[in-house]
Amino acid sequence: MDNILQPWPWYISGPLIAFIMFILIYFGKTFGMSSNLRTFCAIGGAGKKIEFFNINLRDQRWNLLVVLGAIIGGYIAHFYLSVPTNIDLNPDTVKELSELGFENAGKSLLPSELYNLEALLSLKGLSILIIGGFLVGFGTRYAGGCTSGHAITGLSSLQLPSLIAVIGFFIGGLIMIHLIFPLIF
Amino acid sequence: MKYLKYLLVGIIFGIVLVKSEAISWYRIYEMFKFESFHMYGIIGSAVITGIILLLLTKKLKFKNINGDVMLVPKKERGLIKYIVGGSIFGLGWALSGACPGPMYILVGTGAFSILIVILAATFGTFVYGILKDKLPH
């Protein structure tokens, strides 16, 4: 039981993620979490005016259930299958983050400096979350997929477009962390 | 009943991503700093396992639940949309520390401020839908 309560090593988690991808293909579907964002737009009525959102909602129902399950799974894992454990970050990372103004790195899933109520009520904090989310939603649809669709499914099926997309993910991520973070934090 | 299996897949997905710590903002930061093998281990071992599973599927001609040949849809050919779209995604991933899967899972962990990120991501997808025909792909 203690093995379950402790964080799982990468060599357990990674193959399990591959099995999740595989079982969805077995069910005749494709692992793709960002497609749900398009479905949310369609549910909101965006399909009436914009062809891109004119999709059959019934075909997306299965994926919305995966989302609902993911929320439930997050709840179960966080509240029932975890002991309070700090994330075992590289000490250098913790030190750098502290210099950037992020205290207590690894003591929670998300940094309170960006995600607590105080941050949400500040212009800078709120802008960061909105801009970050916007870029994810815009970029993922532009690239035709996110980590699940390209990095896991696309690379596993040896597709060149997905490799290009993943290289893109890293170009963006590296620019943000190495060039933009020092300017905003 | 038909849909129950998807709910279960989602629950397992949520549990695995929490237990792997892949839903943590800090792990994403650390990954882009190349200061830990953890995230590379997760993605790398997932991809290697996935490649083996899909090669076996092809070789042994596994059938899916409907009795058809199991296959992964081919991605469209292209360069600009993948490199530009991917880079925009990467900027947001590093800033918010969450890609779409973890966003939903974080709601379950009680991190409700992630709902703002989800709303903004939905809006981002909406804006892409408006601009789609004007963007280079």
DSSP A116: S
Q: What is the pLDDT of residue B124?
A: 98
Share of chain A above pLDDT 70, in %: 100
Q: What is the pLDDT of residue B110?
A: 95
Q: What is the pLDDT of residue A157?
A: 97
Residues 12-51 of A with CB under 8 A from B: 12-30, 33-34, 36-38, 40-41, 44, 46, 50
Beta bridge partners of B63: B69
Are residue A56 and residue A127 in the same domain, yes or no? no
Are residue A66 and residue A137 in the same domain, yes or no? no
Question: A82 and B19 in contact by Cβ < 8 A?
Answer: yes
Q: Is residue A163 part of a domain?
A: yes
Q: Is residue A94 part of a domain?
A: no
Residue A100 contacts B where some CB pair is shorter than 8 Å: no
DSSP B71: -
Average pLDDT of span A19-26: 97
Are residue A2 and residue A74 in the same domain, yes or no? yes
Residue A84's pLDDT band (cuts 50, 70, 90): confident
d(CA A128, CA A126): 5
Q: Is residue A53 part of a domain?
A: yes
Are residue A72 and residue A123 in the same domain, yes or no? no
Residue A31's pLDDT band (cuts 50, 70, 90): very high
- Please choose, from the candidates B86, B122, B87, B88, the residue with its C-alpha nearest in 3D space to the C-alpha of residue B104: B122
Q: What angle do CA A98, A100, A104 make, to 5 degrees?
A: 30
In this complex, how many residue pairs, one in chain A and one in chain B, have their CB atoms less than 8 Å apart?
A: 492
Question: A137 and B125 in contact by Cβ < 8 A?
Answer: yes
Question: What is the dihedral angle through the alpha carbons of A23, A28, A33, A34, rounded to the nearest 10 degrees?
Answer: 160
Q: What is the pLDDT of residue A1?
A: 76
Which of chain A's residues have a Cβ under 8 Å away from the Cβ of B44?
Answer: 14
- Please choose, from the candidates B4, B18, B89, the residue with its C-alpha nearest in 3D space to the C-alpha of residue A34: B89
Mutation site, B2, B3, B5, B6, interface A, largest A CB count within 10 A: B6
Domain count, chain A: 2
Are residue A22 and residue A71 in the same domain, yes or no? yes
Q: What is the mean pLDDT of each run of 10 residues along chain B (137 residues)?
A: 93 98 97 97 98 96 93 94 98 97 97 97 98 95
Q: Nearest by CB to A135, which of B73, B89, B105?
A: B89
Q: Is residue A110 part of a domain?
A: no
Query: Rg for chain A (alpha carbons), in Å?
Result: 19
Would the ipTM clear 0.85, i.e. be above it?
Answer: yes
Count the Cβ atoms, other than its own, within 10 Å of residue A114.
22
Q: Is residue A87 part of a domain?
A: no
Are residue A120 and residue A78 in the same domain, yes or no? no
Residue A183 has pLDDT above 80, yes or no: yes
Q: What is the distance in angstroms between the Cα of A180 and the nearest Cα belonging to chain B?
A: 9
Which of chain B's residues have a Cβ under 8 Å away from the Cβ of A129?
Answer: 96, 113, 116-117, 120
Are residue A74 and residue A10 in the same domain, yes or no? yes
Q: Which residues of B96-119 are buried (b: 16+ CB within 10 A; e: fewer)?
A: bbbbbbbbbbbbbbebebbebbbb
The domain boundary residue, chosen from A82, A104, A129? A82
The domain boundary residue, chosen from A82, A103, A126? A82
Q: Is residue A126 part of a domain?
A: yes
Model pLDDT for residues A105-155, shown as the tens digit of each residue:
999 999 999 999 999 999 999 999 999 999 999 999 999 999 999 999 999
Which of chain A's residues have a Cβ under 8 Å away from the Cβ of B56?
Answer: none
Q: Is residue A93 part of a domain?
A: no
Are residue A136 and residue A76 in the same domain, yes or no? no
Amino acid letter, B35: E
Q: Is residue A14 part of a domain?
A: yes
Average pLDDT of span A60-74: 98
Considering chain A, what is the average pLDDT of its residues?
96
Q: What is the pLDDT of residue B82?
A: 98
The domain boundary residue, chosen from A28, A58, A82? A82
Q: What is the distance in angstroms between the Cα of A82 and the nearest Cα belonging to chain B?
A: 8
Q: Nearest by CB to A168, which of B8, B89, B109?
A: B89
Domain encompassing residue A65: 1-82
Question: B20 and A13 in contact by Cβ < 8 A?
Answer: yes
Residue A19's pLDDT band (cuts 50, 70, 90): very high
pTM greater than 0.90 (yes/no) = yes
d(CA A15, CA A20): 9
Residue A2 has pLDDT above 90, yes or no: no
